[in-house]
Amino acid sequence: MLCKCGCGQKIMFNKYKLIKYINGHNSRINNNFLKRKKSWNKDLTKKSDLRIKQLAENISKTTIKKGSHKGKNNGMYNKHHSKKSIKKMSIKAIGREYSEERNKKISLKIKGENNGMWVGGLAKLLYPRGFTYELKEYIRKRDGHKCQLCGMPEIENGRKLDVHHIDYNKKNLSEVNLLSLCKGDNCIVNKNRKFWTEYFTRLMISRIDLKTITLK
């Protein structure tokens, strides 16, 4: 008996079971069928086909306006992407080019007061003259040229460590208000400022207490 996929090979006789295909040859028929079958919407766009245009409009009306993709209705609600999936997404995004219109829309959405890290335009304020290179180097040396949050050495940081203002006041140049951070942690501490102010003030107080104990 020959294999029904059309390969011309003989099937081993089995008296207990009726075998029509050689192992793995059944999927060959399915693959060939799928290759022959062309999807109706292939190479069609909103401009070239009215059906595609209507489908796109219906989807935008039902999902985007009603917000069915938000909150608990979202499939990823209270879920997180695995490290593997994040890597895959980042690899796919390499070399991807976006239009200028899209980039402008995104920049407007996250600009100024629309940005979650907006603090009343404090970032535009200039640093005072006293915030010199010498002062920053002194703080880095005092901190042992290491990040005071994760402990990363300055060599691994790839550049000079950033000197962070604990109270986020650029004019406050007190040594107790300044500490060294790596570039990654300096971005992290810009969020949840109240928490980080309290955290670093406790850290500096503990250092002062240790100094007084050693002096005694």
Q: Is the pLDDT of residue 208 over 60?
A: yes
For residue 186, what are its two tokens?
A: 């300096």
pTM of the shown model: 0.47
Q: Is the pLDDT of residue 181 over 90?
A: yes
Question: What pLDDT score was predicted for residue 197?
Answer: 92
For residue 203, what are its two tokens?
A: 């850290």
Helices in 37-168 by DSSP H: which ranges? 50-59, 83-93, 100-109, 133-142, 154-157
| 3-class SS shares of the chain: helix, strand, coil, % to 5 | 50, 5, 45
Question: For residues 4 and 11, what is the distance between their CA atoms, to the nearest angstrom?
Answer: 9
pLDDT in tens, 15-40: 556 667 666 666 555 555 445 556 67
Q: Do the Cβ atoms of 178 and 128 come closer than 8 Å?
A: no
pLDDT in tens, 72-122: 777 778 888 888 888 888 888 887 788 888 888 888 777 766 766 666 656
If you search the block for the tokens 């917000």, which residue do you land on? 67
Position with higher pLDDT, 48 vs 166: 166
